């Protein structure tokens, strides 16, 4: 039986905030934030994870605010919420909400959509280097070899990051953090100069490169950190990826949709680009997906953002979004109800 955690249940005069599905890792961090809603709103949280839309719709039927963690809001569910619930504010546990909800439809229904910003800059940046280091040192394979009684590495010697050039596509909070780590490793850092404020280059120490093809062609490692929105969807094209030199490492911990559909799989299928990917066109990734058959790449299940520090900051921002909504203020608003 699903446990239900409630705050101020006797305060039926207060609006209701519902979290019908929650990642296990979020339960304690978000509970720690609920005191900020004292005398502001009641909370009802179902302590299990489900993406069953019928269950979600039933659990939020009498709610004013929906807290979303780790699942998509389909157009059908959004229509149900609009027609059969009181929900007028949806707060996501992430930044790239365009991947999880139809923002235009939410705007049509006058439902506020909020996100969280920069909560995972360090988490995703660190995961970027986890993927990068796995590609150049193969610690997972070495661990398995040693435990199997082998003291050799059939895969050959490792690669050194120091002295190599990292090309960053997307020099925002995460990209800038990645640049700082790369410089600490002794890497040279460049970044695509596409609508990037000058202070980002000054702060990160990255060298601006105006042409994306040039950035890709001259980098030993290419790492993608663009947010997903209408302007960035498919912005990295097959023609851009054609400039990857054999042996260049390719990392994507941002969103798969910022790359032209099918372009990355086509380039990686040539077998000469080691890649580390945390995001995919279809999630969860099926075992028979074509990307799983490409040799020489490392795949992780969209976990770059999942650290204790990120959960703490993420849940703080989620509850701040709720406090601001009931106070008639804006905080991390992606789609306004007004």
User: Would you state the pLDDT for residue 96?
Assistant: 85
283 is catalytic: yes
Across the strands, what pairs with 189?
Answer: 166
Domains of the chain: 4-119+308-335 (3.40.50.720), 121-299 (3.40.50.720)
Give the model confidence (pLDDT) of 270-281 as tens digits: 999 999 999 999
Q: Which long-range contacts (CB under 8 A, 24 or more apart) does 123-127 make?
A: 123/304, 123/305, 123/306, 123/307, 123/309, 123/310, 124/174, 124/177, 124/225, 124/253, 124/304, 124/305, 125/174, 125/177, 125/178, 125/181, 126/181, 126/307, 127/253, 127/278, 127/300, 127/303, 127/304, 127/305
Note the pLDDT tens digit of each residue in 14-29.
999 999 999 999 999 9
Annotated active-site residue 59? The verdict is: no
Given a contact cutoff of 8 angstroms between Cβ atoms, the answer to whether 272 and 247 are in contact is yes
Predicted pLDDT of residue 211: 98
Q: Are 44 and 16 in contact, with CB atoms under 8 Å apart?
A: yes
Task: State the pLDDT confidence band at 1, using cuts at 50, 70 and 90.
Answer: confident
> What pTM did the predictor assign?
0.89
Mean pLDDT of 312-317: 98
Q: Phi first, then psi: give them for residue 90, nearest 5 degrees.
A: -120, 125
Residues 274-290, mean pLDDT to the nearest whole number: 95
Give the pLDDT of residue 338.
87
- pLDDT tens, position by position, 83-137: 999 999 999 998 889 889 999 999 999 999 999 999 999 999 999 999 999 999 9
One DSSP character per residue, 151-164 reads -S-TT------TTP
For a pLDDT cut of 90, what percent of the chain falls above it? 91
The per-residue pLDDT for range 147-206, each reduced to its tens digit, is 999 987 766 789 999 999 999 999 999 999 999 999 999 999 999 999 899 999 999 999
Over residues 240-258, the pLDDT tens digits come to 999 999 999 999 999 999 9
What's the CA gap between 131 and 57, in Å, rounded?
A: 37
pLDDT, average across residues 212-226: 98
Q: Which pLDDT score is estimated for 154?
A: 66
Kindly indicate the confidence band of residue 70, based on its pLDDT and cuts at 50, 70 and 90. confident
Catalytic residue status for 164: no
Q: Point out the catalytic residue in the list 255, 257, 267, 306.
A: 255
pLDDT at 155 (0 to 100): 63
Candidates 44, 112, 138, 302; catalytic one = 302
**Whether pLDDT at 319 is above 80:** yes
Q: What are phi and psi of 328, to 5 degrees?
A: 75, 25
The upper half-sphere exposure of residue 88, i.e. CA atoms within 13 Å in the direction of its Cβ, equals 10
């Amino acid at each position: 039986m699903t446990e239900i955690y409630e705050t101020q249940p006797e305060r039926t005069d207060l609006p209701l905030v519902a979290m019908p599905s929650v990642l296990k890792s979020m339960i304690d961090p978000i509970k720690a934030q609920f005191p900020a809603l004292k005398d502001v709103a009641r909370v009802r949280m179902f302590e299990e994870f489900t993406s069953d839309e019928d269950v979600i719709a039933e659990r939020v039927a009498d709610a004013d605010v929906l807290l979303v963690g780790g699942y998509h809001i389909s157009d059908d569910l959004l229509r149900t919420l609009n027609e059969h619930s009181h929900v007028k504010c949806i707060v996501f546990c992430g930044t790239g909400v365009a991947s999880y909800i139809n923002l235009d439809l939410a705007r049509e229904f006058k439902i506020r959509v909020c996100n969280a910003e920069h909560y995972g800059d360090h988490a995703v940046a660190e995961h970027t280097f986890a993927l990068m280091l796995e590609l150049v040192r193969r610690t997972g394979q070495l661990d398995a070899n040693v435990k199997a009684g082998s003291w050799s590495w059939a895969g050959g010697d490792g690669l050194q990051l120091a002295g190599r050039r990292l090309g960053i596509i997307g020099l925002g909070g995460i990209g800038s953090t990645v640049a700082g780590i790369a410089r600490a490793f002794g890497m040279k850092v460049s970044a695509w100069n596409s609508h990037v404020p000058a202070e980002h280059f000054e702060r990160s120490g990255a060298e601006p490169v105006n042409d994306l093809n040039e950035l890709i062609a001259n980098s030993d490692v290419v790492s993608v950190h663009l947010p997903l929105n209408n302007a960035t969807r498919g912005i990295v094209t097959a023609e851009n990826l054609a400039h990857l030199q054999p042996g260049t490492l390719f990392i994507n911990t941002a969103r798969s949709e910022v790359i032209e559909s099918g372009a990355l799989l086509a380039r990686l299928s040539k077998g000469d680009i080691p890649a580390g990917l945390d995001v995919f066109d279809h999630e969860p990734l099926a075992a028979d997906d074509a990307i799983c058959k490409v040799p020489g790449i490392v795949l992780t299940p969209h976990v770059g953002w999942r650290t204790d520090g990120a959960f703490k900051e993420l849940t703080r921002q989620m509850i701040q979004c709720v406090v601001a909504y009931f106070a008639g203020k804006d905080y991390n608003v992606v789609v306004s109800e007004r």
